[in-house]
Amino acid sequence: MAENAANFTSTFQNRPSIFEVIAQKSLNDTVYPALQKVALVLATNLPQKFSWLNNYFDETFLVLNGCLQYYYLSYHDASFAENFYGLKRVTNDGTLTKKNREISLIFLIIIPYLKRKLEEKIALIRIEEAECNLSNSLEGRLKKSLLYSYSTLELVWGLLSIQNYVRYMAKSTEYPTPIFKLINMQLAYNTELLDEPGFWTALSKGDLSWSQLSFGLIRNAVATSLQVGAFFLQFLQTWNAQKSNHNMTDLPNIKSPLIDTKSVAYREKCPLCLKPWIIPTVLQVSGYIFCFRCILRFLNENQRCPVTNLPAKPLDIVRLYIG
Ligand SMILES: [Zn+2]
């Protein structure tokens, strides 16, 4: 009993503040939209080379994020964002087992990937519902029930997270988020300082030769560069947040074509079915107007504008109220 009490006290003493917990979560949530923005800019400006990056961005991010988080969990017992804020994951026994790391990886990589895929589908169902396109068929009813269950789940999860934050601040729980409770891990300060040679320090002092390059030094170079990148990411996010109408995840500004000769051929009609529009819907990246169903079906199969070939996703459409 006394041992447990001692362990409990030390856990609470070494636990990070709510601000650090929220800051690391915010950094973790910023990496995806930031890299997505880079992929979108590349695919827009160099479509021949990088259109695949936009089409398979989620899968590319899954692999990159997988490698990053695997490295940080293996060497620092933490995710990239947690390590950036000097935190690490601990269990009640103190050490992190191989199984703990595997579970952490699933919750850091696989579940966010599946969540994003599900959210894409849900967003499309929401558009269909708003346009009263959900029929009373079995498919329509299934889509409606998926929409309502997801909205309820989202609300319940949000309330649970807030309640957990309050309990964490009041020190009545040692789990910073409901996910940590689910996987039975906590966050603590990483007090172990790694005795690794600093790559950039050695380079700036000029006492780095090829013979000195070791695995530890290269690892240090990559890790430090990523951390500097993360710092700039946070900085840019704050900078952009100050501009009221700008967001990092906004579509890139594309130079409008001087004279688009193709547009004349599609005056007052959908470029896909070549008939007058049924529910006119504009594709943001190109400005062409299609029927709602035509463009949605096309974008689900090909992630590009059918006329200009600019990269586009199903959520890049906007309903037009004309006539
Ligand atoms: Zn059409």
- Assign residue 287 the CATH number of its domain: 3.30.40.10
**Where are the alpha helices (H) located in the chain, listed in sequence order?**
2-13, 18-45, 47-55, 57-76, 80-84, 98-105, 111-130, 138-169, 178-182, 199-205, 215-241, 262-265, 292-301
304 C-alpha to center of ligand 1: Å?
16
pLDDT tier at 320, thresholds 50, 70, 90: confident
Phi, psi (deg, nearest 5) at residue 279:
55, 80
> How many angstroms from the chain centroid is the CA of residue 148?
23
Q: Are residues 271 and 174 part of one domain?
A: no
- Tally of domains within the chain: 2
User: Considering 193, 209, 237, which residue would you say is the last residue of a domain?
Assistant: 193
pLDDT tier at 242, thresholds 50, 70, 90: low
In a domain, 205, yes or no: no
Average pLDDT over residues 136-143: 84
Q: Are residues 160 and 53 part of one domain?
A: yes
Max mean pLDDT range (127-141, 207-221, 296-310)? 296-310
Q: Are residues 188 and 279 part of one domain?
A: no
The rounded distance, in Å, linking the Cα atoms of 77 and 100 is 10
pLDDT tier at 5, thresholds 50, 70, 90: very low
Q: Are residues 268 and 179 part of one domain?
A: no
Model pLDDT for residues 28-53, shown as the tens digit of each residue: 888 888 788 788 788 877 777 887 88
133 C-alpha to center of ligand 1: Å?
15
289 C-alpha to center of ligand 1: Å?
9
Residues in the chain: 323
Q: Are residues 154 and 49 part of one domain?
A: yes
The rounded distance, in Å, linking the Cα atoms of 35 and 297 is 27
In a domain, 207, yes or no: no
Q: Are residues 272 and 175 part of one domain?
A: no
User: Considering 178, 193, 208, which residue would you say is the last residue of a domain?
Assistant: 193
269 C-alpha to center of ligand 1: Å?
8
274 C-alpha to center of ligand 1: Å?
6
261 C-alpha to center of ligand 1: Å?
20
The percentage of residues in the chain with a pLDDT greater than 90, rounded to a whole number, is 23
104 C-alpha to center of ligand 1: Å?
46
The percentage of residues in the chain with a pLDDT greater than 70, rounded to a whole number, is 78
In a domain, 246, yes or no: no
In a domain, 209, yes or no: no
Q: Are residues 131 and 20 part of one domain?
A: yes
The rounded distance, in Å, linking the Cα atoms of 222 and 292 is 46
9 C-alpha to center of ligand 1: Å?
66
118 C-alpha to center of ligand 1: Å?
27
281 C-alpha to center of ligand 1: Å?
10
In a domain, 29, yes or no: yes
User: Considering 177, 193, 209, which residue would you say is the last residue of a domain?
Assistant: 193
pTM: 0.68
The rounded distance, in Å, linking the Cα atoms of 174 and 18 is 11
Q: Which of 18, 32, 105 is nearest to 70 (CA)?
A: 105
Model pLDDT for residues 259-271, shown as the tens digit of each residue: 667 777 788 899 9
294 C-alpha to center of ligand 1: Å?
5
Q: Would you say residue 143 has pLDDT above 70?
A: yes
In a domain, 312, yes or no: yes
50 C-alpha to center of ligand 1: Å?
28
**Average pLDDT value for the chain:** 80
278 C-alpha to center of ligand 1: Å?
7
224 C-alpha to center of ligand 1: Å?
51
Model pLDDT for residues 152-191, shown as the tens digit of each residue: 999 999 999 999 999 999 989 999 999 999 999 999 888 7
252 C-alpha to center of ligand 1: Å?
26
The boundaries of the domain holding residue 272 are 262-319
Average pLDDT over residues 20-31: 86
Q: Which of 25-29, 97-101, 114-118, 236-240 has the lowest mean pLDDT?
A: 236-240
In a domain, 230, yes or no: no
Q: Are residues 53 and 173 part of one domain?
A: yes
